[in-house]
Chains A and B, each alone.
Chain A
Amino acid sequence: MGEVLQITLFTLGVALLGTLLILPPGIALGWVLARRDWPGKAVVETLVALPLVIPPVATGLILLKLFGRRGLFGRFFEQTLGIEIVFTWRAVVLATGVMAFPLLVRTARVAFEEVAPRFEETARTLGAGPRDVFWTVTLPLARRGLVAGCVLAFARALGEFGATVMIAGMIPGRTITLALGIYQEVQLGRDNEALELLAISAMLALAAVWLSERLMRRRSR
């Protein structure tokens, strides 16, 4: 039971951290995509959507190449900052964050697009500068979609498997999440233990959906 609890808490922790880390850039990018036009916008859109359309394992491989010891970013992190990423819990956070990012950006973009520009224009005529408008009008009006996007990203992060297994491996006590655990237990022929992890996964997912529904209903009053 101790191991199951550890896995559960670890999974919740990395999913939460992964979601929190992508929240500021995800919301910023969603806003920029909704409200601004620039040459090369299509390239950015494609890049962001990439993890959604290629196999998660492939995304994991790309990350492994980039963040491995001899990778572009990996060398920087290890030599300059002294931080090891691959095959540590940090790799799990990275994988879950990257896989959840497109979902967050897409929902955030839709949420911002649904805010009528009229409200932002009105705020400007009342003396609010661009940042002021964003914090007092745009963000509050987009909050339902943003909350939904966060929950979606968090749920995606909870269940991440392919990219994680590629870049973090399956190291008991260090990188095993619920999804990885289920796979491992089945591989070892321990179906009961696998089912136990499955039940926990299902409960967490239900709780997340329930929470998001509640949040949205309360805030809409």
Chain B
Amino acid sequence: MTDARIHSGSATATEAAIRARFHIDRGAFVLDVDLALPGRGVTALFGPSGAGKSTFLRAIAGLERVPGGFLEVDGEVWQDESRGIFRPTHRRALGYVFQEAGLFPHMSVRGNLEYGRHRRGNAASVDFVHMVGLLAIGPLLDRRPDTLSGGERQRAAIARALLAGPRLLLLDEPLASLDLARKNEILPYLERLHHELEIPVIYVSHSIDEVVRLADHLVLLAEGRVAASGPLTETLARLDLPETFAEEAGLVVEGRVGASDPAYGLVRIDFQGGSVHVAHAAAPAGHRLRFQIKARDVSLALERLGDTSILNLVPARVVAVAETPGAAHVLVRLDAGGTPLVARITRLSRDRLKLVPGSAVWAQIKAVAVLA
């Protein structure tokens, strides 16, 4: 099931289930978006604050009416102003989780969960007990929202949105108001949902860590415009992205645990074209893990260096080099036996090593972040 999920999430362009076209021009603020998004999996909407992420989400929900807008979800036209169609928010089968949970303070958690359940015809399709179990909120049902922790509130808000039987789930920085410990408490639930949900999720975030952990599809927004949109790994490996994202450029790779070395606290993860050793608690062999290698953590050498503290050396071939005129660094896209990697090195190094497409190199990976 896990396999099917991730693959369907990546095969995006062909089976677009959400088409959204919104244009807002308010002088200082411009949003100009024309997107086709996959009908399953998590689409992360990533960008700096002020890029228009939340406005885009509000437009999808119909909370903000955009003149001339167009929105089609799962074959249903929710908005097409050129034909005078605008479905008000309460007639759009969606779930919306805001940054602050927004649980109704005058109702118990159960009252909150029941609120959306009977207001839409299709709500019966979601099993209450199952959803409560999935988000582990059973013990909280009779509590008042103000007695809940931030993480508990957010879990209840997610359950409430899903129990209304949405065909599209919108999450607007659901973790932004939580501290790190609470984030780590809630992320596993989101991952579990990711594997269970049949409906598409649009996840707004300005935290690249959340994005690489949860997303299948990535949309980069900058100054109200789509800078890139595509499957997560491909998009993160692109070299032509604006400066805002260059720092975050890198790869998300999925591999399987090969062997654990508890004595040194290391785990070997095998992926197509190589393997890496990472500091990680022992895990059963064959267990799937996602990890990220940022471009700035990859350096390049022409020969395999013996005496080095760097554990992870992967043979690769240069595919492309991207340079910004005048910038000190260049991005080098590599192919390591089928797995793409990106390295961020200085322009001087590129010239000294005479790197061109086709050059054989050793990628020295300084840091690997295990995501899930």
A1 to B: closest C-beta gap in Å: 46
Whether B89 contacts A124 by the Cβ 8 Å rule is yes
Instruction: Indicate if the CB atoms of B100 and A125 lie closer than 8 Å.
Output: no
Question: Which residues in A have their C-beta under 8 angstroms from that of B115?
Answer: 123, 126, 128, 136
Cβ of A126: which chain B residues have Cβ within 8 Å of it?
90, 115-116, 119, 160-161, 164
Question: Number of A residues contacting the other chain (C-beta, 8 Å)?
Answer: 19
Chain A 129-155 near chain B by CB (<8 Å), digits 1 or 0: 110110011001100000000000000
Q: Are B102 and A127 in contact (CB under 8 A)?
A: no
A192 at the interface (CB under 8 A from B): no
Q: Inside 8 A of B98's CB, which chain A residues have their CB? A: 118, 121-122
Q: Please provide the chain A residues from 187 to 212 with a CB less than 8 Å away from any CB of chain B in the complex.
A: none
**Are the CB atoms of A125 and B120 closer together than 8 Å?**
no
Q: Which of A121, A125, A141 contacts B106 (CB 8 A)?
A: A141
Given A118-B98, A122-B98, A127 and B164 contact (CB-CB distance below 8 Å): yes
Interface residue from B91, B95, B100, B104 paired with A137 (Cβ < 8 Å): B104
Main secondary structure of the interface of A (DSSP, over half): helix
Q: Which of B198-216 contact A (CB under 8 A)?
A: none
Contact partners of B63 in chain A: CB under 8 A: 121, 124-125
Which residue of chain B has its CB nearest to the CB of A136? B115
Judged by a CB distance under 8 angstroms, whether A73 is at the interface is: no
Q: Does B75 contact A (CB under 8 A)?
A: no
Tell me the dominant secondary structure on chain B's binding face. loop
Docked Cα-Cα span, A118 to B102, in Å, equals: 7
- CB-defined contacts of A119 to chain B, threshold 8 Å: 102, 104
A138 vs B73: C-alpha distance in the bound complex, in angstroms? 30
Q: Closest 6 CB pairs between A and B?
A: A126-B116, A127-B119, A125-B96, A124-B89, A127-B120, A122-B102
Kindly identify which residue among A122, A133, A137 contacts B96, using a CB–CB cutoff of 8 Å. A122
Do B105 and A141 touch across chains, with their CB atoms under 8 A apart? yes
Cα–Cα distance between A121 and B98 once the two chains are bound (Å): 10
CA distance A140 to B115 in the complex (A): 14
Interface pairs (18), CB distance under 8 Å: A119-B102, A121-B98, A122-B98, A122-B102, A124-B88, A125-B89, A125-B90, A125-B161, A126-B119, A126-B164, A127-B90, A127-B93, A127-B123, A128-B90, A129-B90, A137-B104, A140-B106, A141-B104
B239 within 8 A of A: no
Interface residues of B in 75-101 (CB under 8 A from A): 88-96, 98, 100
Judge whether B61 is part of the interface by a CB distance below 8 angstroms.
Answer: yes
Complex Cα gap A97–B55 (Å): 45
Report the minimum CB–CB distance from A169 to chain B (whole Å): 46
* B56 CB, min distance to chain A CBs, angstroms: 15
Q: A133 — which chain B residues lie within 8 A by C-beta?
A: 90
> Smallest Cβ distance from A135 to chain B, in angstroms?
12
For the complex, give the distance between the alpha carbons of A128 and B96 in Å.
Answer: 13
| Complex CA–CA separation, A129 to B87 (angstroms) | 12
Contacts of B104 in A (CB 8 A): 119, 122-123, 137, 141
For A136, what are the chain B residues with a Cβ–Cβ distance below 8 Å?
115
Q: Which of B91, B92, B102, B123 has the most chain A CB atoms inside 10 A of its CB?
A: B102
Cβ A125 vs Cβ B119 within 8 A? no
- CA of A122 to CA of B98 in the docked complex: distance in angstroms? 8
Contacts of A140 in B (CB 8 A): 106
